[in-house]
Structure 1
Amino acid sequence: MTIDTVLVKQSFAAVEPHGTEVTAYFYRHLFEHHPGVRGLFAEHLDEQQDRLWEALGALVANLESTDELVGILTGLGRRHAGYGALPEHLPAVGASLIAALRHYAGDAWSTEAEASWAAVYGVVADTMGRAMAAAG
């Protein structure tokens, strides 16, 4: 699957004005569709939402910088392993991320944008999953 970085950046720019709403939607979607992961998170998600938003911004900002991106994702994978997250949780996270982005991107969302985000998330899940497995 090919990543169209222009579409990823355009769709992210469209959701940026809705930052906390996007992350709140993400967590509602994740917990509604995968309630078993709720115990991995603090009761109050304000800090977690901020960290998620920061990570998304870093991901988009470093799309063309492979070494930087791999370093960020490897660190995230290790930290998440310490919280009890498993590589098996990553598909649920990806589905909820795509749902949140789709919900807020408006006209910037298309089947091509979704395919590019899915490809980006494939890299995220693969890199974080390997780091999680190595940390465990």
Structure 2
Amino acid sequence: MTADLSLIRSSFTLVEPHGTQVTAYFYDHLFANHPEVRPLFAAHIGEQRDRLWAALGALVANIENTETLIGMLQNLGRRHVGYGALAEHYPAVGASLIATLQHYAGDAWTPAVEESWTAVYGVISGTMVAAGDAASH
């Protein structure tokens, strides 16, 4: 599975105008479909929504700047271990991210866009999990 970075950028451009609605949808989807992860999040997640939105924007902005992107993801992975995130939580987050992006991209969401986001999320989650594992040992 490979990622077409131009599809990542163009699909995010379609999603971006929806702003914090995107992250609200994401968390609603995540908690409805994976209630076991709800305890990992503060009761009031408004600030968390803002951080997620900023992280997504930074990810897309740095999608071709590997060194910056990897450093950012490693930092996130180390922090998430402190919140109780485990490797087995990442697939739930990925499924909700894909569902959210698909919802807001509408008809522009194609199998190629989904494949690209799935591949990118694989790199994101793999990098974060590895950094988290290294930090916890």
TM-score bucket of the superposed structures, by smaller chain: over 0.9
SS of corresponding position for 1:51: helix
Normalising by the residue count of structure 2, what TM-score does the alignment of the two structures yield? 0.97
Task: Name the structure 1 match of 2:134.
Answer: 134
1:65 partnered with 2:60:
no
Task: Name the structure 1 match of 2:85.
Answer: 85
How high is the sequence identity, in percent, across the aligned residues? 66
Q: Give 5+ residue unaligned stretches, structure 2.
A: none
Matched residue type, 2:83: Y
Normalising by the residue count of structure 1, what TM-score does the alignment of the two structures yield? 0.97
Task: Name the structure 2 match of 1:10.
Answer: 10
- 1:16 Cα deviation from its structure 2 partner: 0.4
- 1:132 Cα deviation from its structure 2 partner: 1.1
Q: Which contiguous aligned blocks of 4+ residues in structure 1 show a shift greater than 4 angstroms?
A: none
Matched residue type, 2:59: L
Distance 1:96 1:68 in 2: 25
Distance 2:28 2:45 in 1: 11
Matched residue type, 1:21: Q
1:92-131 Cα deviation digits (max 9, x unpaired): 0000000000000123211100100000000001000101
Distance 2:108 2:47 in 1: 28
Distance 1:76 1:108 in 2: 29
Q: Give 5+ residue unaligned stretches, structure 1.
A: none
1:22-65 Cα deviation digits (max 9, x unpaired): 10111011111110110010111110000000000011011111
Q: Which residues in structure 2 correspond to 1:7-46 (within 5 Å)?
A: 7-46=7-46
State the aligned residue count.
Answer: 136
